[in-house]
Amino acid sequence: MLLAEISNKGLAALTYGLGAIGPGIGIGYLVGQAVQAMARQPEAAGMVRTTMFLGIAFVEALALIGFVVFFLAGA
């Protein structure tokens, strides 16, 4: 059985890779939209930027929890 041969570390790395997909898409979409908003309304750029960083921080948390779990599981 192939799955049985994969070590715990390899599995942890693979799972972290899967877990990074969602936040990756999320941050890409978020920043893209923010850039579009800033291009359309440069005078609101400051506000958009603050909100963008806030959104990134929330989305990123998922990837980072995955990163921590990766070390816990892979150890």
Q: How far is the CB of 34 from another protein (least distance, A)?
A: 15
Stretch 34-53: interaction string toward another protein, x if CB under 8 A: ------------xx--x--x
Stretch 2-41: interaction string toward another protein, x if CB under 8 A: ----------------------------------------
Which positions ≥6 away from 37 have C-beta within 8 Å? 44, 48
* Rounded-to-integer distance, Cα 8 and Cα 45, Å: 46
**CB contact at 8 A, 56 and 27:** yes
